[in-house]
Structure 1
Amino acid sequence: MSISRRAFGLGSAAVVALAAAPAAVLAQAGLSAEDQAVLRQAQTYLTAMTTAQGTFVETGPNNQRRTGRYYLQRPGKMRFEYTEPAGLLVVADGNNVSRWDPRLNVFRQAPLGQTPLSTFLAREVRLDQGVKIDRVTRMDSGAFAITARDARRPNEGSVILAFAGSPVRLQEWTITDAQGSRTRVQLTTLQPAPGLASSLFQLRDPTRRNRRN
């Protein structure tokens, strides 16, 4: 089945590529040497984040608020487990991204490679492979933000990744889609998570079980 990017309906599915890349790649048009240094700093941090877990708050275009926990295991695996609304799950298992909404009894699935998550969850994500950096914003505190979009589909929206400084930490991202709607995801906690259970990244279609009953 063909699933559009909007079908998964959460900002986490639109994290863009900002990980390991050779320094020479960072000389994008319009970026100063200071901007390029910030990008390298972000890349070093994200490259090292092979596992993580924590809590998040997601605010949608109509101020709809969702909360939950997330788990990350690169390459290829991620889980967003919503506590509000309860039961909503989005899971990347290394091959597919699945979304289960028990309130509507709807299960959707798409190949990981056809979703924006594939760039963030790749073993090696590169800035020279389809990502355009629009802006780097630096604050006196050491915090910074990076605005990027898919260079092949620049009209489909953009993402702003916001980092704390000293030490560097991913704090949040804001997705703007092609219609101008915004979704903000704040990582309220984030910590390394070695040894995550493989079952976290498995999601079978519950509707098949229901049809058998």
Structure 2
Amino acid sequence: MTEPTRATAIVAPADLQRRQLLLGAGLVTGFAALGVFGSAEAQSNLSAADRAVVQQAQGYLQALTSAQGTFVETGPGGQRREGRFSLLRPGKMRFEYTNPAGLLVVSDGYNVKRYDPRLNNFQQVPLGRTPLSTFLARNVRLDQGVRIDRVTRMDSGAFAITARDQNRPNDGSVVLAFAGSPMRLHEWTITDAQGSRTRTQLTSLQPASNLPASLFQLRDPTRRPGRN
């Protein structure tokens, strides 16, 4: 077992590494799912009104190019995490946790990086090898990738979309909830392959401008000077 104070090298298999990189970052997982709603064939079970709602969500997400906000994440065991996020499409996001303090997940447009100061652990994988790349693409498409199981519409104008990976439907699902009038992304719930649920609520979400490039840069804090 690795000592908590020791830097950990990136030696995990690709799938495990991606899972660890997203662990403790349900916000990343939720945004990753936003960009991969089902293909036309997978949407054939939806009514015309439901498909219109999906198109409405696509337009909203496509317009969400630069934003900042805060979130509260509740894990399957009831553990609560909080933090701030910044978004600059294409390619860049930052998730800065205040609880647990110091945990960072950053996409710089090329790689997704995760640093946990409690374990002095740094990991990174290419952005293109994570589902997050779909949402951070220049063009967000909701008509290819996975299956839409359900669209729930409410009289207030709010709605929720339940989706899962079309090619790996047993890997879990995501329920994305949008508030209406004015429309905004409100929260999502991720259910994994084991049935565990993580709920992420956006306590604020506002357009942002002139976000500094430094927000989306993260060097390996565990690397010593002169170390190869």
Preserved contact between residue 97 and residue 103 of structure 2 (Cα < 8 Å): yes
User: Displacement, 1:45?
Assistant: 0.8
User: Displacement, 1:190?
Assistant: 0.6
Gaps of 5+ in 1: none
Gaps of 5+ in 2: 1-9
Separation in 1, partners of 2:133, 2:85? 16
User: Displacement, 1:5?
Assistant: 2.8
Preserved contact between residue 147 and residue 165 of structure 2 (Cα < 8 Å): yes
Preserved contact between residue 13 and residue 116 of structure 1 (Cα < 8 Å): no
TM-score (norm 1): 0.91
Aligned to 1:107: 122
Aligned to 1:43: 58
Aligned to 1:4: 18
Preserved contact between residue 107 and residue 113 of structure 2 (Cα < 8 Å): yes
User: Displacement, 1:141?
Assistant: 1.0
User: Displacement, 1:13?
Assistant: 2.1
How do 1:118-197 residues align onto structure 2 when only pairs under 5 Å count? 118-197=133-212
Preserved contact between residue 73 and residue 80 of structure 2 (Cα < 8 Å): yes
Of all paired residues, the percent bearing the same amino acid is: 70
User: Displacement, 1:55?
Assistant: 0.7
User: Displacement, 1:19?
Assistant: 8.3
SS at match of 2:207: coil
Aligned to 1:33: 48
Separation in 1, partners of 2:37, 2:193? 27
Over the aligned positions, Cα root-mean-square deviation in angstroms equals 2.2
* Residue identity matched to 2:18: S
* Residue identity matched to 2:69: G
TM-score (norm 2): 0.86
Residues 114-171 of structure 1: per-residue CA shift (max 9 Å, x gap): 1121111111132343121111001111110001111121111111110000111000
1:66 and 2:92 matched: no
How many residue pairs match? The answer is: 210
Residues 48-93 of structure 1: per-residue CA shift (max 9 Å, x gap): 1001101110111111101110000111110000011110000011
Separation in 2, partners of 1:210, 1:118? 31
Preserved contact between residue 179 and residue 186 of structure 2 (Cα < 8 Å): yes
Call closer, same or farther: CA 1:32–1:168 in 2, change over 3 Å: same
Moved over 3 A (4+): 17-21, 24-27, 209-212
